[in-house]
Amino acid sequence: MRDFYVSRRDRAAALIARREPVVYEGGEYADGLSPDRLQQYEQNGFIVLENVFDADEVSILREEVEAMSRDPDIRARPEAVRERGGEALRSIFRVHELGKHLAELPRNPRLLDVARQILGSEVYIHQSRANIKPGFRGKEFYWHSDFETWHVEDGMPAMRAVSCSVLLNDNNTCNGPLMLIPGSHRQFVACVGETPEDNYLKSLRKQEIGVPDECSLRLLSEDAGVTPVIASPGSVIFFDCNTLHSSAANLSPWPRNNVFMVYNSVQNMLVEPFHGMAPRPEHIAAREHVQTLSPIAVHS
Amino acid sequence: MRDFYVSRRDRAAALIARREPVVYEGGEYADGLSPDRLQQYEQNGFIVLENVFDADEVSILREEVEAMSRDPDIRARPEAVRERGGEALRSIFRVHELGKHLAELPRNPRLLDVARQILGSEVYIHQSRANIKPGFRGKEFYWHSDFETWHVEDGMPAMRAVSCSVLLNDNNTCNGPLMLIPGSHRQFVACVGETPEDNYLKSLRKQEIGVPDECSLRLLSEDAGVTPVIASPGSVIFFDCNTLHSSAANLSPWPRNNVFMVYNSVQNMLVEPFHGMAPRPEHIAAREHVQTLSPIAVHS
């Protein structure tokens, strides 16, 4: 398969125009975004939906994440990724299989239908995780495109995946909210540097490879600026797999936990990683255990 | 001199009630804060004054800071402190003597009169610096009380100093604005750990000693929360020497430069540092070159 998005090879940083659409035609769904909202997603590369889940629904999810964070069995698993220099958890991967309520979340039609609508096909979960950003301790995520990593390290062929972040806490100025560069999804930032073997063991704690250069970041954010998502629990952010995003450390006393799920199109299944890298483990990038999602009935 | 605020000695973290007033009686000044604002300062331990300087005044200061940041002579001085792991400047100390316009700034009655009013006496500059937080690169300042350091490392006897931060750029959610814990100035957080010699060479880049424990931070912020200062250039923040504050890294493309000056009461001059430490250099803590400030005439 030809690699249209070469990154981390022996060349300088570059901006490459996106080849694929942002919103695909032909997905089947009962509910989805309104035409206005869909257009907003297409234009900015993300959309924030408020009050998708009510307080009760959120607290069930939040409590499940908190219980998992304390569970010694979970903490001993490879799915549990720690912050640098400590025992504090940064992420728990594959929560859509490890959790009971979290397992139902990606099949909730309020989310699934939006993913199908955007990707124009049936979908499956490429990756899921609880991102845990405890008060005072949660560390930053520097700017990156998820697709850059998924393409280079996992062999995701095309930009036909959408990330979905379900906010379990209030996201405010002080606890490291998600920040996005509107419109950045239309350019692929080829990054400098080669990928070491087993890079993920380090990069999930602090990304140092696959980091966009400052010049590209400046170009992309010069006019568009940066949008911080200040929103309440139960809000949902959908963002394109190639939208540049980051979040600062959490210096506040308030935790900032969210559930992050990546819907990938069944027409965009992983191939062998480019440039001969070994595939990352299944809990980081679903390759073998892929299940097309069907909606579940929910009481809303 | 008896040390009422013991910190970094062989004991656990502790909260010690403040002994001194926050607002002192008897300062001479032409202009100052209104009674309402003064009360707000007393209660919260800080106050934000908007539009103290107009756009022209700000750009003169901003350009001077930028010119100093590029000046190889300045960059070679001990006053120029770099970020960890790089050549990027984090702070330039003693700007009230190194700069031309910056030298006049502390004597501007719009600032000086507020400092005199709060401290109830004549004042001098204990420390000044330009804090430079460039886009994408500026690192965080974790929670701390300035007084804790000035007391332990410089021998500042009492809580009778006020910090003044003049904003040279827009401070927004994304570029690491100052965050303060309202009311925290009424408690002294005694910190754990001994101070290594020449600690300042490291601590000005990243503070690891004199850091409040998480339990105290949680107690102090539980009800009061955390206030981020989102404000435009030309705004000024006055905050008590003991108010806990921090700021996140700057992940945005926008620089966040400010001028930080510490007014100390002439009745609170430095003594020998407690516990036999060697004094820090003059450019970090004025000890010999102390000049009582008189107001200059300004056109406003």
pLDDT in tens, A239-251: 999 999 999 999 9
What CA–CA distance (Å, rounded) separates A118 from A44? 13
What six digits make up the tokens of A187? 């350019």
pLDDT computed for residue B4 by the predictor: 84
What CA–CA distance (Å, rounded) separates B29 from B113? 5
Q: How is residue B263 annotated by DSSP?
A: E
User: In the predicted model, what is the mean pLDDT of residues A79-104?
Assistant: 89
| Whether pLDDT at A9 is above 80 | no
- Per-residue confidence at A10, pLDDT binned at 50, 70, 90? low
∠ CA B261-B267-B272, rounded to 5°: 85
Residue A180 has a CB neighbour count (10 Å cut-off) of 26
Please tell me the distance in Å from A174's CA to the nearest CA on chain B: 7
pLDDT tens digits, A170-209: 999 999 999 999 999 999 998 887 777 777 777 766 767 7
Q: Percentage of chain B with pLDDT > 90?
A: 71
Residues 131-160 of B with CB under 8 A from A: 135-137, 140, 142-143
pLDDT tens digits, B86-125: 778 889 999 999 999 999 999 999 999 999 999 999 999 9
- CB-nearest to A226 from B228, B230, B252 is B252
Closest CA to A156 of A265, A238, A255: A265
Q: How is residue A17 annotated by DSSP?
A: E
pLDDT tens digits, B239-255: 999 999 999 999 999 99
Contacts of A214 in chain B (CB under 8 A): 136-137
Phi, psi of B91 (to 5 degrees): -145, 150
| Whether pLDDT at B299 is above 70 | no
Residues 190-249 of B with CB under 8 A from A: 214, 217-218, 221-222, 225-226, 228, 230, 246-249
pLDDT computed for residue A234 by the predictor: 98
Closest CA to B147 of B206, B200, B208, B210: B210
Contact B173 A252 (CB under 8 A): no
Q: Quick check: helix, strand or coil at residue A251?
A: coil
| Whether pLDDT at A221 is above 60 | yes
Contact A217 B136 (CB under 8 A): yes
Contacts of A225 in chain B (CB under 8 A): 253
What CA–CA distance (Å, rounded) separates B52 from B58? 10
Contact A108, A298 (CB under 8 A): yes
The region of weakest confidence among A74-78, B195-199, B220-224 is B195-199
What CA–CA distance (Å, rounded) separates A244 from A187? 10
pLDDT computed for residue B224 by the predictor: 94
Contact B252 A143 (CB under 8 A): no
| Whether pLDDT at B75 is above 70 | yes
Contact B185, B20 (CB under 8 A): no
Nearest CA in chain A to B178: A174
What CA–CA distance (Å, rounded) separates A103 from A108? 10
Locate tokens 């010049």: which residue? A215
What CA–CA distance (Å, rounded) separates A188 from A148? 8
- Per-residue confidence at B277, pLDDT binned at 50, 70, 90? confident
Contact A178, A238 (CB under 8 A): no
Contacts of B230 in chain A (CB under 8 A): 173
Q: How many CA atoms lie within 13 A of B280 on its CB side?
A: 28
| Whether pLDDT at B267 is above 90 | yes
Please tell me the distance in Å from B166's CA to the nearest CA on chain A: 21
Contacts of B226 in chain A (CB under 8 A): 174, 251-253
pTM for this predicted structure: 0.89
- Per-residue confidence at A210, pLDDT binned at 50, 70, 90? confident
What CA–CA distance (Å, rounded) separates B193 from B10? 7
B295 or A225: which carries more pLDDT confidence?
A: A225
pLDDT tens digits, B127-158: 999 999 999 988 899 999 999 999 999 999 99
- Chain A interface disruption, residue of B252, B254, B256, most A CBs within 10 A: B252
Contacts of A249 in chain B (CB under 8 A): 140, 248-249
pLDDT computed for residue A209 by the predictor: 75
pLDDT tens digits, B4-49: 888 887 667 789 999 999 999 887 677 789 999 999 999 999 999 9
CATH homologous superfamily, domain B20-265: q2cbj1_9rhob like domain (2.60.120.620)
Contact B251 A248 (CB under 8 A): yes
Nearest CA in chain A to B230: A173
Contact A252 B179 (CB under 8 A): yes
The dihedral built from the CA positions of residue B167, B171, B175 and B178, taken in this order, carries a sign that is: positive
Nearest CA in chain A to B173: A173
Contact A249 B248 (CB under 8 A): yes
pLDDT tens digits, A121-180: 999 999 999 999 999 988 899 999 999 999 999 999 999 999 999 999 999 999 999 999
| Whether pLDDT at B221 is above 70 | yes
Q: What is chain B's length?
A: 300
| Whether pLDDT at A26 is above 90 | no
pLDDT computed for residue B87 by the predictor: 79
Closest CA to B99 of B135, B139, B71, B137: B71
Cα radius of gyration rounded to whole Å, chain A? 18
Contact B249 A140 (CB under 8 A): yes
pLDDT tens digits, B173-192: 999 999 999 999 999 998 88
| Whether pLDDT at A300 is above 60 | no
What CA–CA distance (Å, rounded) separates A169 from A133? 10
Please tell me the distance in Å from B251's CA to the nearest CA on chain A: 7
Please tell me the distance in Å from A146's CA to the nearest CA on chain B: 17
Residues 253-292 of B with CB under 8 A from A: 253
Contact A179 B251 (CB under 8 A): yes
What CA–CA distance (Å, rounded) separates B294 from A35? 64
Q: How many CA atoms lie within 13 A of A77 on its CB side?
A: 18
| Mean pLDDT score of chain A | 91
Closest CA to A83 of A127, A146, A132: A132
- Per-residue confidence at A275, pLDDT binned at 50, 70, 90? confident
User: In the predicted model, what is the mean pLDDT of residues A268-284?
Assistant: 88
The dihedral built from the CA positions of residue A281, A284, A290 and A291, taken in this order, carries a sign that is: positive
What six digits make up the tokens of B26? 């008897």
Domain boundaries, chain B: 20-265
